[in-house]
Amino acid sequence: MGGVKYKVTISYDGTDFHGWQKQEPPHTEPLRTVQGEIEKAAIDVARARVLTLGASRTDAGVHAKGQVAVISTTRDIEPERFLYAINSRLPDDIKVTTVELAPFSFDPIQGCKSKGYRYQLFHGCCDPRNKPLFERRVHAIVMPELNVKTMMEAAPHFVGEHDFAGFTKMNHGRESTVRTIDACYVSVLGEHRIAFDIAGKGFLWNMIRIIAGTLVDVGLERTLPSDIPEIIASGERTRAGKTMPPEGLCLEWIKYD
């Protein structure tokens, strides 16, 4: 499509979405997706044909603070005006935070140098006083108390280039399961509240949520920190932890040159 290309940064509460990517099943209404809402609002602003492409196809229930997308259209609108206009047409669970003109060659997927995700959870929730109420939409809940110190010891074992075949779904659709993790660490955010921060150029389907589940296994003392390299090398899905629920995961940022 010729015309204008806008690079936009988007935040959203993923709770009530079927993920980022548009889904239009045959013979039924389209599912509610972030891309679908963005595109609908952009068409209303531009009064012209619009194409959107997101840098990360977040799953249903996953949130974002720094999703990046391009909106291509034939109508040239000043970026700040576009920002205000599109936000006035978006639902309350999506917000466009920045809009800038992008070169026609800009590709949000191929141009990405690194992405940062955070997985947040409350633990020790067998005690009802520790169970979150208002934060439950953006945190996972683990009933037993976790050994956070051993989780901190385990996290660096994921850093580097590895074959993460055991940390994704079957039928993941990727030719290669080799990925490079630039950073992986555990932080204490408050009493009974922790986060896993993971950064890298790209990830497999459910990879971060499975890494989070494996770190939880370490915290439950089912797995030793020293077991992580062997679990990764095995390539066996059954050796890694469970896939943690989507509500704890948030796309924090995406970096470009």
Is 59 among the residues known to form the active site? yes
The mean per-residue pLDDT over the stretch 182-199 comes to 97
pLDDT, averaged across the chain: 95
The mean per-residue pLDDT over the stretch 90-114 comes to 96
Residue 221 has pLDDT above 90, yes or no: yes
Residue among 21, 66, 47, 37 nearest 205 (CA): 21
The mean per-residue pLDDT over the stretch 30-49 comes to 96
The mean per-residue pLDDT over the stretch 72-100 comes to 97
Q: Say which residue the tokens 């921060």 belong to.
A: 197
First-last CA distance in the chain: 24
* Reported confidence tier of residue 169, pLDDT bands at 50, 70, 90: confident
Question: Which of 44, 59, 163, 227 does the annotation list as catalytic?
Answer: 59
Q: What local confidence, expressed as pLDDT, does residue 1 receive?
A: 56
Dist CA 193 CA 185 (whole Å): 14
From residue 244, how far is each of 178, 211, 241 by CA, in Å? Answer: 21, 9, 8
Domains identified in the chain and CATH numbers: 4-101 (3.30.70.580), 113-256 (3.30.70.660)
Residue among 154, 171, 174, 116 nearest 232 (CA): 154
Dist CA 143 CA 139 (whole Å): 13
Residue among 102, 126, 139 nearest 249 (CA): 139
pLDDT digits (tens, 9 = 90+) for 43-78: 999 999 999 999 999 999 999 999 999 999 999 999
Task: Say what the pTM is.
Answer: 0.94
Q: What local confidence, expressed as pLDDT, does residue 172 receive?
A: 61
All residues at 6 or more sequence positions from 224 whose CB lies less than 8 Å from its CB, including other chains: 150, 154, 218
Dist CA 182 CA 150 (whole Å): 20
Contact in structure between 48 and 10 (CB atoms under 8 Å): no
